[in-house]
A and B are shown apart, each in its own frame.
Chain A
Amino acid sequence: MAVTAIRTSRLTKDYGIGRGLFDLDLEVAPREVFGYLGPNGAGKTTTIRCLMGLIRPSSGTAHIFGLDCRRDSVAVKRKVGYLPGDIPQFGSLRGKEVVAYLAGMRGGVEQKTVRSIAQRFDLDLGRRFREYSSGNKQKLGILLAFMHRPELLILDEPTRGLDPLNQQEFYALLLEARDGGATVFLSSHILSEVEHVCDRVGILRAGRLATVAQLEDLQHIRAHRVEIEFAQDAEVPSAAIRSAAGVEAVKVEAQRVSCTVRGSFEPLFEAIRHSKVTDLVSTEPSLEEIFLSYYSETSAPKALPE
């Protein structure tokens, strides 16, 4: 039986005044792409730093491939490729020197892997770090995490600063790594991002794991804010909209309707198909807004539908 890639048991890091990470029980299977979602300050980076052995948990344990993250931290880090949330400053070192410096510490990094990743992101390693744009710094961070073909990738908000094209390239690289046998633990606060690449998702709120869900379960909490403008001479089908499945918080102001849609758009489209629409805008709310609406305003989070 394969060893669990990541396993935490009542992992807690208490910073006081209710801040930190509390009683985290989590398991990530080998070759799984696990998304770790949560609003800013939810405890995602704290979890990652506990896994990397960078911070000491107040209580509980964390294991990677059966190795204790604190006690066996060197052995753990041999297996892990890590992308921190903030790329550190390397001043006037050139990109190729930064790579050589960290590859020298790690060992076992092949030039062809470095070349391949740098080329697909078009990252010029001949330039000085301080001359890099924030996107290029992030590309360098990705290269440093992937360059030794690790068994486990721990990535803290990996697409921060990347343009859409490079985001797609990153997703492709991630899935290739997974297909090559790697496990991925990826934190994000963008729901659509984890939907794009993850097999399972853990959702963190105020330092506690609210739920671990399969991808399809996300549809239940996924919501879009929709604004529809009907033509002046058209009748607004407000009753049909209100009764459409998954449509909530309907507000009608003259020819303008705003509502929230959970799950599929089909019921809403069905409700408005006989009316003349002049404008329709759909936006994805932030995770904070999703949490506020989905978990209403109670302190205890609701369980996701199984």
Chain B
Amino acid sequence: MTAFVLGLRLGRWGVVGFSALAFFSSLVQALAFFQLAGHTAAERAAFGKSMTQLATSLTLILPPPTRLDTVGGYVGWRSFGGLAIVFAVWALVSAGGAARGDEERGLVEAALAASLTRFEWIMSRLMAFAGASFVAAALGGLGLLVGTIKGDDSVSLVGLLEQAVALAALALSCYALTLLVGQLTSARIATAAAGMLLLALFLVNTLSRTFTWLTSVRWVSPFHYYELNHPLVPGSGLDLRATAVMLLIALVAGGAAAAAFAARDLGSPLLRLPARSQPSTYERSRNPAWRVPVVRGLYERRIGLLVWAAGIAFLGAVFVSLTKTVIQPLMSIPALTQFFGGFVQGRLYTSFLGFFWLSTAELLFAAFAIAQVARWSAEDSDGRLELILSQPQSRAIVVIERAVVLALGAAVIAAVSGVVVAIASHNQGMDVSNERLAEGSLLLIPFALVFAAGGSVLAAWNPRAAVGLLGAFAFVSYMIAEVGPLLKWPAWLQDFSAFKLFGMPLSSGIDRAGLLTMIAIIIVGFGASILLMERRDVGA
């Protein structure tokens, strides 16, 4: 019981953050539905038909839609479909920490020394996450309920609970799989390896909708079983068999993780290559990269940068390949003309690629910046910043070097993904302007730096809260940009969104006012963080 409570306590900020995210995501989508779908049955039927056509183009990310003419069906697809990815990422990060992170911090050793068995440790963490994910998923349901009441409509309470159960079951299965992978690999690569597994399971399911040969293997994916549930759709319900399979995956993977944990040494993976005998080294590395400011930061992050660049470039290529298939059905939807009217200017493919690809790239670059801010916060809490500041360099230089490393890292990613998108779009015969594409890609650098500047201020002010607050800002900012125009929110409110500053560089060119605002935010943000850093206590 103590271990269960400890598990809940360790994950309390995750519960708060993801609950808020689920709640607002569902609330906003429910409100958007009532704004867009109309009020008569005919209007909603027309809206549902249009959205279903749109949804068929988004099946790489979102599940196939069902009854989009109802608020339950729409929010189930638009919000809970996306939350499946979000909760999987939460499970990945949380289980990565539980499997190996807590071990490195000595927490597991202390727990085992306090007479807890390894099986109890794994199960208590699994149970704690089950509770946490259910609470967060249930709050997602609450968001839908509030939105539905505001729209003078109704939704089944049982359906809401069942949706929460399905989402929590998916998250739990992802959590257990990550726990299992975490036992098998070294701590250094545990989360990355589990992430690869979850990504593969996700893609097996989503790509099976396009590549029929994958349908024979999608049964391995918990995401497939999640999509079989439609509890929010009138007349449908929880697929008990599918939900049971997800829980079974969690149970089997959790049990296997416990068995693997029992079989391995603390601090070592279950599977390890025999150590190569190497003579001892008593000299520092001769690699010149460590001697050059900024270069050392990039060199240290080289593997991460490579993964970010390759991942985003891959997604860029996928988006290019989907562009034509997306455009065809969209053009036949009159109701969406208003929605896309603002984006489609000039050349068709360029406009759509700009909208679909760059808006996704914005999210990814914001995530990249947040990941770097998380690293700055970690440097503070694990004492590394203290040692860095004991070297003869000013705090201002430390902040500036961080900013430059992040800018160059973002530049590498933007360049690689930009080149890949350019090549792929020309191969597809699209008339995308290389100049505009280069501008759009380069604009991602100041965009990432806007988040980094905010993160730098937060990390200098309160490093423990920096990532959570920055993540919340990114989420709110994204939601404002996403639904603000649809819900006709006031312009001043929409101006708060960092995503709005980016504009539509591929179709409209660079928004100079937006760029200047971004530059101003970057200068002010990093300037303020230097002042805060100069004044704050480090290591206290």
Contacts and interface: CB of A to CB of B under 8 A. Distances in A.
Interface of A: 15, 46, 49, 52-56, 73-75, 77-78, 80, 82, 84, 86-97, 99-106, 109, 111, 114-115, 118-119, 122-126, 128, 130, 144
B188 A130 contact: yes
Nearest to B286: A100
B394 A89 contact: no
Interface stretch (B45-53, B84-92, B532-540): B532-540
Contact of B283 (A55, A80, A87, A96): A96
Given A105-B388, A130-B187, 10 more contacts: A54-B390, A54-B539, A55-B540, A84-B539, A96-B285, A99-B284, A100-B287, A109-B284, A118-B282, A130-B188
Interface string B126-155: 000000000000000000000000000000
B284 A84 contact: no
Q: Select the residue from B104, B279, B391 with max chain A CB neighbours within 10 A.
A: B391
Nearest to B379: A88
Interface string B271-290: 00000001111111111001
11 contacts: A80-B390, A84-B386, A84-B387, A88-B383, A89-B384, A94-B285, A104-B290, A124-B280, A125-B280, A125-B282, A126-B280
Contacts, number: 123
Contact of A77 (B296, B300, B390): B390
Contacts of B282: 114-115, 118-119, 123-125
B292 interface: yes
Nearest to B278: A126
Contacts of A91: 188
Contacts of B391: 77, 102, 105-106
Q: Select the residue from B187, B281, B392 with max chain A CB neighbours within 10 A.
A: B392
A55 B537 contact: yes
Interface of B: 104, 187-188, 278-287, 290-293, 296, 300, 382-394, 535, 537-540
A70 to B, nearest CB: 9
Contact of A124 (B281, B284, B385, B393): B281
A217 to B, nearest CB: 32
Nearest to A120: B282
B392 A77 contact: yes
Contacts of A103: 284, 290-291
A54 B533 CA distance: 10
A94 to B, nearest CB: 7
B281 A102 contact: no
A238 B284 CA distance: 62
B529 to A, nearest CB: 17
A101 B296 contact: yes
B280 A74 contact: no
A104 B292 contact: yes
A88 B384 contact: yes
A74 B384 CA distance: 17
B283 A54 contact: no
A118 B284 CA distance: 10
Contacts of A74: 392-394
Contacts of A92: 188
Contacts of A119: 282
A75 B392 CA distance: 7
A93 B385 CA distance: 16
A75 to B, nearest CB: 7
Contact of A49 (B187, B293, B394, B540): B540
B383 A84 contact: yes
B540 A89 contact: no
Contact of B383 (A89, A93, A101): A89
B384 A52 contact: no
A91 B189 CA distance: 12
Contacts of A95: 281
A101 B300 contact: yes
A145 B355 CA distance: 53
B278 A100 contact: no
B291 A104 contact: yes
A80 B61 CA distance: 55
A125 B385 CA distance: 21
Given A55-B540, A78-B392, A101 B290 contact: yes
Nearest to B398: A105
Contacts of B388: 102, 105
Contacts of B292: 104
A56 B382 contact: no
Q: Select the residue from B280, B290, B300, B535 with max chain A CB neighbours within 10 A.
A: B290
Nearest to A56: B537
B535 A56 contact: yes
Nearest to B188: A92
A189 to B, nearest CB: 19
Given A88-B387, A105-B388, A54 B290 contact: no
Nearest to A115: B282
Contact of A100 (B284, B384, B392): B284
Given A73-B394, A111-B284, A54 B389 contact: yes
A111 B537 contact: no
Contact of A125 (B283, B383, B387, B393): B283
Nearest to A78: B392
A88 B382 contact: yes
Contacts of B385: 88
Contacts of B279: 126
B12 to A, nearest CB: 23
Contacts of B387: 82, 84, 88, 102, 144
Contacts of A56: 535, 537
Nearest to A119: B282
Contacts of B290: 97, 100-101, 103-104
B281 A125 contact: yes
Contacts of A126: 278-281
B281 A100 contact: no
A100 B539 contact: no
A103 B421 CA distance: 41
B277 to A, nearest CB: 12
Nearest to A128: B188
A262 B284 CA distance: 47
B107 to A, nearest CB: 14
A7 B287 CA distance: 39
A96 B284 contact: yes
A77 B285 CA distance: 23
A78 to B, nearest CB: 4
B285 A105 contact: no
Nearest to A90: B384
Contacts of A73: 394
Contacts of A124: 280-282
A126 B539 CA distance: 28
B282 to A, nearest CB: 4
Nearest to B281: A126
Contacts of B393: 74, 77, 105
B280 to A, nearest CB: 4
A176 B117 CA distance: 49
Contact of B104 (A88, A106, A130): A130
Contacts of B540: 15, 46, 49, 54-55
A114 B284 contact: yes
A94 B281 CA distance: 10
A49 B385 CA distance: 13
A201 B263 CA distance: 51
A304 B187 CA distance: 52
A240 B291 CA distance: 69
A55 B391 CA distance: 15
Contacts of A82: 387, 390
